[in-house]
Structure 1
Amino acid sequence: MTLNSVKALDAVSRIDVTLPTLPSGSSRAYIRHFLRGTSATSYATMVMVGPDGSSSVILERLRNGAETKFSEVPGPKLTAGKAFSLQISAVGTNPVRLGAKVWAAGTSEPSTWSALATDAAAERVTAAGPAGVTLYASKSGSVTPVRFDNLLTASTTTAPSNTPAPSPTPTTSTPTPSPTPVLTDYPGQRLQAGAIAPGNQSYSVPATAKFVATTGSDANTGTQASPLRTISAATKAAGAGGTVVVRGGVYHEQVLIYPHDRLTVEAYPGEAVWLDGSEPVSGWAKSGSVWVRSGWTTSFDASPTYTKGAPDGTTASWQWINPKYPMASHPDQMWVDGAALTQVASRDAVTTGTFYVDESADQLVLGSDPTGRKVEASTLAEAMSIRSKDSLIRGIGVRRYATSVPMMGTVSTYFTGVTLENVTIADNATTGLFIGAADATLRNVTVRNNGLMGIGGNKADGLTARSVLSVGNNSQHFNNAPVSGAFKITTSRNVTVTDSAFINNSGHGPWFDESVYNVTFTHNDATGNLGKGLVFELSDRIIAADNTFIHNADDGVAIMNSGNATIWNNTIAGNGGGIDITEDSRRASDLSLPGHDKRQPLPDPTVPWIVTNVSVANNVVSQSAGEYLLRVADWSREFTGGQMVSQSEGNLFHRASATAPTYVTVWSPQAGAGSKGYPTWDAYRAATGLDASSLLVTGTSPLTSAYQLNSQYASRASSSLPVTAQVAAAAPRLAQGSRILGAGAR
């Protein structure tokens, strides 16, 4: 197989290879990935695979079919059915510097090359040529068909070497903060999280930076005096460790962050940079009660699930589309004088403030008079695909892209070590940001008014989200489940979220689901969301401490089929329910169910999907309505409440009256039986033996309007448990050994 459409000279090329079965008998499989030519004349990395999975990595030159082997080294142990990545790099002409790598696909790329060589011979290959791959087997035995995926060839000026490249000189960020927004509906909220407004950033500009400007040209050199026009061209020109500086303006562009390592893309100091997926629309003609723009051929995928072309689900309460909002998955967007319009399903339904895309007639139909007004529509689907590991994007705004659900995110990355800093992602059709690789960092990021979800992530091991603001997402009103709202992470390990705010999202606040392991969730606010404040589902190990969960429509905190949860020093007030800890029939031992982390041994012993060893301490839980302050229930009737919750002490519970909420707790008293509601404090404590050191207040709330304990109850902190070393390490504002009720002051 040869990629004839792309010819490269100085390049690095990688392909993922899967052997469904290993060679049989005494056969060997030979997989060759080549550059600068064909299978007959080129440079190649070849992997030789034996029946036991042992491998050798060979770096070679082919000239008219004759092989010259530069190096042969032992390769990794390979496994049938598991992909490995095969990479070759060739840079220069006299000499040609070569490198080869092989590693397990989906893991971090090795920092060193498996084999290196320098070719100065007369037979060296000095002409540009395509990349490709070949497969053959030795004559004895057999090899089953091989799967090839993700062939990626990119230009590079960096010759392969195992001498570490110098890191780019760190620059100091001294941004000027924008004014802190105030959410007047819910006093006491900390909303200084999120990005500073585009145009207020101030990052130093390296002398070697490549520049982009709206007045530039991609034929230019990329200097400040001769800027490029597109960010994609600049990232290609910058090279590994380079910096791209974007001058102020609006860029109607789908950006590919080119696959060089350690790229920085940043806005010029004090200038506002926006990637904008919309553009002005003119040429309207009145037609009855509507206005029509003919010749409209822009079309987007409207698939309602992550699988392109698949219909919505049919399982009750597990469909993406809310029947009240049937156009939710249609990414088309329009604005008149900056005000968003609503898309409708037919021409007859068009009225003032709405629009319809008539694909059969190639027409855009508008219900508001466009005369003398600015009309804009989304014409691009994706803003930025970050394909450069260990790279930094900062000071940039992204808005108005018509991203479809299967595209995962308007901004996305599947490469490790990416950092976003002071980035605003707003008013896009579905999900704003998607993280699909390890070790990402989100620092001062705002996701606002995106159609489905603010931030999504999968296989995002080591994700750190600090000072994230997720507000007003799921603006298209998808159902809460299976996906919507503020922030959802699945199938990931070692995730940290801190100093962040999740406000007024039409769905859940932060949601960790489907085999997420080891979450630190501290010093955050989840307020006014139309689902639950925090969801930890089908997962294991979380410390949720020093958070506030205020006025969410459903439970403040929900632990579902998840064990080893430490719920300490949170303020949970005015939600549809208090703390909800539940088990159902799903178990990780059933491999037919979705939600397993297939990177782990299955069933994964670290994430059994069983509620156990939950600790609830030093929380303030205040409810004036709903069914319960605390619920611990196993709907599968396998476990008792005592088996699910190991500790509940030092809490302060508040109910408005003896019947509001209906019960102090709902509890599973014994296996094989249903849950039971306890309307009185004494009955609950007598039945469970828990909360002996806790306090129940009935009547006036113990909280101030800023959701801090009033003076009468602040002194009761002595009844709380001393903050443990584990909790203090996760939530540093809670000093070890201190006695504190609820979340710390904001």
Structure 2
Amino acid sequence: MLSRAKGHAARIAMTLAASVLALASSIVALPQPAAHAEKPHGERLNKKYAVADTDYPVPQSNVLWVSPEGDDGAAGAQNAPLKSVAAAAKKATDGTTIVLKSGVYREPHFSITKSNVTLQAAPHAEVWLKGSDVVGASRWKKDGRVWKVTGDFQNFCHVCTVNPDPRVDGMAAFPEQVFIDDQPLKQVDSKDKVGPGTFYVEDATPTTLKVADDRTKGYNVGKQDSVTYYVGSDPTAGTTEISQRSRAFTSTGSGLAMKGVNVAQFAPNHAWDFNDPRLGKESGPVAVSVNGAGSVIQDGVFAQSSSTGFFFDHAENSRFVNNKVYDNGATGLGGNRTHGTTVEKSVFSASNAAGMEIDGTKCKGYCTVGDVKITHAKDVTFRENVVDYSGRQVSHVDKGKSTPPGFWCDEGCINAVVVNNFFTNSSSAIFIEVSAGGVVASNVIESSGMGITLSGSERVKVYNNTVSRTLASITVNEDERSNGCNAVDANRRCIANESWSQEQHLSWDATKNEVYNNIVSSRPGLNGSRRPWWSYPIRTAGGADEDGSSKLYSNSLFTGLDYNAYYRNGLAGDPYLMTWDTPEGAGKTDVRFSRTKDIAEDSRTDKRIDGLERHALDQFGARSANPFFVKEADGDADFKKSDYHLKAG
């Protein structure tokens, strides 16, 4: 699949007809659902999420069994199980398999420190690690039109955010969570606003900042004392749970295998630096932290964390496979310095459920939320995954403000491979930022705001992708930052070094990229309104680095641009195919090409760039008559209703 496109980069001579055949061979089937069957609804412990029905073999030796009905003083045998995962983790030696029987495990943070430990569900068991506790019906008291409960609940930090000014994130900075029958209630900022589906927390001694708008200056740590919850929906009508713990566990041993274990309703804050009086430094910002190399996480659900659902930290050569990551308050899956790790065959949806600020003009350099966010890593692979927002009606014009980026590689991703994934209704599907090398290939992106974006990145190969009904299909732009520096002072001296990128000698300049053999089809209509300035089938934008080191424009962004296919409804409705930024231009879209033939003929394009779309396809027509696909759905919001295989011939 990739070798054919790589041949284009090697300037293999091809006719236009041969280019179409290459496109036909490169479009592949969408990622398939999980291989395991799901338990019928009536048998499930969780009323919101279905889990995989698994049947892992149990070794004959070095095994510890755990059950919610067990006893931590027991031997850990199948007929004499331990009660807590923490007890099993403490008792485990290298190579131990911990087998969890069906049930909900609600226990404090534990650590797995031994190597090659397996944490797995018993055959056909449904296993949940939950950060919440059940608050029984007898504890709730009616208080006018609401219900309330007072007790020794966790005093969560409301000012522990990534942004130095927590006010930027509003109520999203508050980690508290309430669930009735596993459905979340929404937190509001006063008792007067409590109504059906919402709740308010009254904490008389909260943690505050020493300097009101700057978290970096330290905290006035609040007291761990009585807290009152007010809810507007009847908490006695179902099982009501309140989140009390921030993290399920941390694994530091190499070779962890986590199989068929599900994690939900933990409440981490959004900062790493807060030392909570009760929860310690594990109070944020991830529900599960795997820090050991060679780990495998499979067949689980990671959901309803108030911050990040799962995190790989220095977990080199690990795998995250066949998991479902839903409804987490901020990022679904995060990773840092997790070289060689693969994320595959997993489903991501509804990240940033808490509503963290993701508009770059407001969160500035502290925008961190994505379905998947990877930083400072070599050779990461993201393949055969689904990022699915088909259940949410969002504006495609919103430029990433309504949902977070789907796959976001940032601050020094080196040689990442993003291949054969499916994105639907994503504000920004694939975002490669200030990184280097790698391949973005054979992905299908539909009905989205931004498709593939390369920002301040070099030597990225964009091959064989299908982008349908998406406003800004492919964007390549220069970033004002340079050479691993996130900010400069008035004298253009760096005041925010990014050490990993500097160690790897990354330029953070958009140069030497290749865009071959992609299909850009049928961008969405805007009900007669003017298209946003950033919206083009292919948009290129240059600029000057803020440290004064260089000025790069569209001629510097590419080494190859050819064999792409475009389908538009007509020049009247979609007049521009591509923008070209020049040093002489007045703005970021100072040159706009209407047809592919215009690109190579224009005197302002560098003829050293391979192709310049001399072998492109440039066609027009209605979606119902799409010449490429078996079927392209007609409506902008017709999610998952297209067949993107190419028509015969």
The answer to whether the superposition gives a TM-score over 0.5 is yes
Distance in 2 separating the partners of 1:370 and 1:350: 13
Name which of 324, 328, 331 aligns with 2:175.
Answer: 331
Q: Partner amino acid for 2:538?
A: L
Counterparts of residues 92-103 of structure 1 (less than 5 Å): none
Counterparts of residues 147-226 of structure 1 (less than 5 Å): 190=31, 192=33, 197=38, 198=51, 200-208=53-61, 209-226=63-80
In structure 2, the partner of 1:525 is: 422
Matched, 1:453 2:366: no
Rate the CA distance shift 1:709–1:444 in 2: closer, same or farther, 3 A: closer
Rate the CA distance shift 1:659–1:588 in 2: closer, same or farther, 3 A: farther
Counterparts of residues 353-392 of structure 1 (less than 5 Å): 353-360=197-204, 362-392=227-257
Matched, 1:538 2:538: no
Distance in 1 separating the partners of 2:128 and 2:558: 49
Rate the CA distance shift 1:410–1:648 in 2: closer, same or farther, 3 A: same
In structure 2, the partner of 1:312 is: 166
CA contact (8 A) 1:410 1:431 kept: yes
Matched, 1:692 2:593: no
Greater relative contact order (Cα 8 A, min sep 6): structure 1 or 2? Answer: 2
Matched, 1:498 2:420: no
In structure 2, the partner of 1:160 is: none
Name which of 301, 324, 346 aligns with 1:424.
Answer: 301
In structure 2, the partner of 1:571 is: 466
Distance in 1 separating the partners of 2:37 and 2:107: 22
Name which of 254, 267, 273 aligns with 1:402.
Answer: 267
Matched, 1:265 2:160: no
Rate the CA distance shift 1:544–1:430 in 2: closer, same or farther, 3 A: same
1:671, distance to aligned residue in structure 2 (A): 6.4
Spell out, residue by residue over 1:343-402, the C-alpha distance to the aligned partner (whole angstroms, 9 max, x if none): 011111111111111112731111122344332211221112112211111111111111
Tell me, what secondary structure is at the counterpart of 2:88? helix
Counterparts of residues 281-296 of structure 1 (less than 5 Å): 281-282=135-136, 283-296=139-152
CA contact (8 A) 2:306 2:328 kept: yes
Rate the CA distance shift 1:328–1:662 in 2: closer, same or farther, 3 A: farther
Matched, 1:346 2:204: no
1:404, distance to aligned residue in structure 2 (A): 1.4
In structure 2, the partner of 1:245 is: 99
Matched, 1:583 2:478: yes
Rate the CA distance shift 1:196–1:456 in 2: closer, same or farther, 3 A: farther
CA contact (8 A) 1:194 1:422 kept: no
Matched, 1:433 2:344: no
Q: Partner amino acid for 1:559?
A: L
1:709, distance to aligned residue in structure 2 (A): 5.4
CA contact (8 A) 2:464 2:519 kept: yes
Matched, 1:615 2:514: yes
In structure 2, the partner of 1:666 is: 579
In structure 2, the partner of 1:513 is: 410
Rate the CA distance shift 1:485–1:591 in 2: closer, same or farther, 3 A: closer
Spell out, residue by residue over 1:524-583, the C-alpha distance to the aligned partner (whole angstroms, 9 max, x if none): 112212x21100001001201111111122x10000000001000000111221101000
Distance in 1 separating the partners of 2:518 and 2:479: 25
In structure 1, the partner of 2:374 is: 489
Rate the CA distance shift 1:484–1:590 in 2: closer, same or farther, 3 A: closer
1:442, distance to aligned residue in structure 2 (A): 0.8
CA contact (8 A) 2:120 2:260 kept: yes
Tell me, what secondary structure is at the counterpart of 2:579? strand
Rate the CA distance shift 1:603–1:296 in 2: closer, same or farther, 3 A: closer
Spell out, residue by residue over 1:93-121, the C-alpha distance to the aligned partner (whole angstroms, 9 max, x if none): xxxxxxxxxxxxxxxxxxxxxxxxxxxxx
Structure 2 residue ranges without an equivalent (≥5):
1-28, 39-50, 205-225, 272-283, 361-366, 393-402, 488-493, 526-530, 545-549, 633-641
Q: Partner amino acid for 2:576?
A: Y
In structure 2, the partner of 1:598 is: 499
Spell out, residue by residue over 1:171-216, the C-alpha distance to the aligned partner (whole angstroms, 9 max, x if none): xxxxxxxxxxxxxxxxx95451598654511111012211101111
Distance in 1 separating the partners of 2:374 and 2:584: 32
276-285 or 493-502, which deviates more? 276-285
**Count of equivalent residues:** 510
1:409, distance to aligned residue in structure 2 (A): 1.3
Distance in 2 separating the partners of 1:194 and 1:401: 27
Q: Partner amino acid for 1:586?
A: R
Spell out, residue by residue over 1:659-696, the C-alpha distance to the aligned partner (whole angstroms, 9 max, x if none): 43342111114467644242520433422361010011
Distance in 2 separating the partners of 1:386 and 1:228: 20
CA contact (8 A) 1:386 1:414 kept: yes
Rate the CA distance shift 1:589–1:440 in 2: closer, same or farther, 3 A: closer
Rate the CA distance shift 1:671–1:645 in 2: closer, same or farther, 3 A: farther
Distance in 2 separating the partners of 1:651 and 1:205: 51
Matched, 1:297 2:153: yes
Tell me, what secondary structure is at the counterpart of 1:485? coil
Distance in 2 separating the partners of 1:392 and 1:485: 25
CA contact (8 A) 2:30 2:420 kept: no
CA contact (8 A) 1:624 1:660 kept: no
1:256, distance to aligned residue in structure 2 (A): 2.2
CA contact (8 A) 2:414 2:435 kept: yes
In structure 2, the partner of 1:651 is: 564
Q: Partner amino acid for 1:696?
A: D
291-300 or 351-360, which deviates more? 291-300
Tell me, what secondary structure is at the counterpart of 2:460? strand
590-599 or 386-395, which deviates more? 590-599
CA contact (8 A) 2:153 2:244 kept: no
Spell out, residue by residue over 1:64-89, the C-alpha distance to the aligned partner (whole angstroms, 9 max, x if none): xxxxxxxxxxxxxxxxxxxxxxxxxx
Structure with more strand by fraction: 1
Distance in 2 separating the partners of 1:578 and 1:654: 12
Q: Partner amino acid for 2:473?
A: G
Q: Partner amino acid for 2:499?
A: K
Spell out, residue by residue over 1:317-354, the C-alpha distance to the aligned partner (whole angstroms, 9 max, x if none): xx5x2xxxx21121111122332211011111111111
In structure 2, the partner of 1:676 is: 590
CA contact (8 A) 2:414 2:436 kept: yes
Distance in 1 separating the partners of 2:287 and 2:252: 14
Name which of 254, 257, 266 aligns with 2:108.
Answer: 254
Rate the CA distance shift 1:667–1:691 in 2: closer, same or farther, 3 A: same
In structure 2, the partner of 1:465 is: 343
Q: Percent identity?
A: 26
Q: Partner amino acid for 1:488?
A: K
Rate the CA distance shift 1:304–1:195 in 2: closer, same or farther, 3 A: farther
Q: Partner amino acid for 2:644?
A: Q
Q: Partner amino acid for 1:203?
A: Y
Matched, 1:552 2:405: no
Distance in 2 separating the partners of 1:403 and 1:394: 23
1:710, distance to aligned residue in structure 2 (A): 5.3
Structure with more helix by fraction: 2
- Rg larger for: 1
Q: Partner amino acid for 1:629?
A: P
